[in-house]
Homo-oligomer: A and B are copies of this chain.
């Protein structure tokens, strides 16, 4: 089968054998935002055409390809959601070259009734369930929109999204704070200072101004202020999202996992790192349920 992780800015395809082992993989920059006029079939064929030509007929996809801007909008599955509920929400695309299925995202509502959504990461979480086993677990998927996910006995019970990475990016590129910043290597001490600062009173909007005022007083070098801002934002994310769990399972690239490990360590929380290639395991598990449709 062909497993496809198709997001806003990238397209990753994997050729899997009948046990789910990766035989080959390819990536392209054809994220859904760069595909014009709805030509998703053409974009997929451009990347995976050789495999299709060789006779592969089953394709399972997840990510923003199932959003309103994608190939086919697939409604979110409601939490609590495990493999069964997510598989039941899959939708088939009309295409004569192969049988193409798109996984749904998931949704939940917090105590105040405000909805939250995941589209793409649910597949990585499904691919990590075996490793986690029974019981309650907290998974964090750091990034532009970090996801904190509670899993209980193989089902996602609730989650929250935090705009940490995007806030860092827009402040660095477009705010007064960014204009002061000089690029430099990551400053570990400034990062840890930022994480510590996030525990203080005053709120994030006040702490952000501290990036400038500390710079004005020579207490934060321009080359360290990006690291401080990163620690500040990640610290706020952790304090807001932390649950009763003592261990946070990080599901991301090794680089991001190391950054979050340091931040969690600074606030006295333990972390472990899950396999960041869990997406193919999740898509393979979903494919195994397709015969039940």
Residues in chain A within 8 A of chain B (CB atoms): 107, 110-112, 114-117, 145-146, 160-164, 166-167, 170-171, 173-176, 197, 200-206, 208-210, 213-214, 216-217, 219, 233, 236-237, 239-241
Q: How distant is the Cα of A107 from the Cα of B213 in the complex, in angstroms? A: 9
Residue of B nearest to A171 (CB): B170
Q: Which chain B residues border A170 with CB–CB below 8 Å?
A: 170-171, 174-175
Q: Which chain B residues border A163 with CB–CB below 8 Å?
A: 175, 205-206, 208-209
Q: How distant is the Cα of A179 from the Cα of B233 in the complex, in angstroms? A: 22
A214 and B117 contact, Cβ closer than 8 Å, known pairs A145-B209, A203-B237, A209-B145? no
Q: How far is the CB of A231 from chain B (nearest CB, A)?
A: 14
In the complex, the count of this chain's copies comes to: 2
Q: How distant is the Cα of A166 from the Cα of B240 in the complex, in angstroms? A: 22
Q: Which chain B residues border A205 with CB–CB below 8 Å?
A: 146, 162-164, 167, 204, 233, 236-237, 240
Q: How distant is the Cα of A240 from the Cα of B214 in the complex, in angstroms? A: 20
Residue of B nearest to A163 (CB): B208
Residue of B nearest to A208 (CB): B163
Is the beta-carbon distance between B206 and A115 smaller than 8 angstroms? no
The 8 A-B residue pairs whose C-beta atoms are closest, nearest first, are A203-B240, A162-B205, A161-B209, A163-B208, A170-B174, A112-B200, A174-B174, A115-B213
Is the beta-carbon distance between A162 and B213 smaller than 8 angstroms? no
Q: How far is the CB of A86 from chain B (nearest CB, A)?
A: 18
Q: Which chain B residues border A166 with CB–CB below 8 Å?
A: 175-176
Is the beta-carbon distance between A241 and B203 smaller than 8 angstroms? yes
Q: How far is the CB of A107 from chain B (nearest CB, A)?
A: 8
Is the beta-carbon distance between B233 and A161 smaller than 8 angstroms? no
Residue in B117, B201, B233 whose CB lies within 8 Å of A213: B117
A209 and B115 contact, Cβ closer than 8 Å, known pairs A110-B200, A204-B204? no
Q: Which chain B residues border A202 with CB–CB below 8 Å?
A: 110, 160, 240-241
Q: How distant is the Cα of A114 from the Cα of B212 in the complex, in angstroms? A: 11
Residue in B176, B213, B216, B239 whose CB lies within 8 Å of A203: B239
Is the beta-carbon distance between B115 and A217 smaller than 8 angstroms? yes
Q: How distant is the Cα of A6 from the Cα of B36 in the complex, in angstroms? A: 49
Q: How far is the CB of A50 from chain B (nearest CB, A)?
A: 35
Residue of B nearest to A116 (CB): B213
Residue of B nearest to A146 (CB): B205
A206 and B160 contact, Cβ closer than 8 Å, known pairs A112-B200, A115-B214, A116-B213? yes
A161 and B213 contact, Cβ closer than 8 Å, known pairs A110-B200, A111-B201, A197-B112? yes
Residue of B nearest to A164 (CB): B205
Q: How distant is the Cα of A174 from the Cα of B174 in the complex, in angstroms? A: 8
A213 and B176 contact, Cβ closer than 8 Å, known pairs A163-B208, A205-B162, A237-B205? no
Which of A145, A162, A164 has the largest number of chain B CB atoms within 10 A? A162
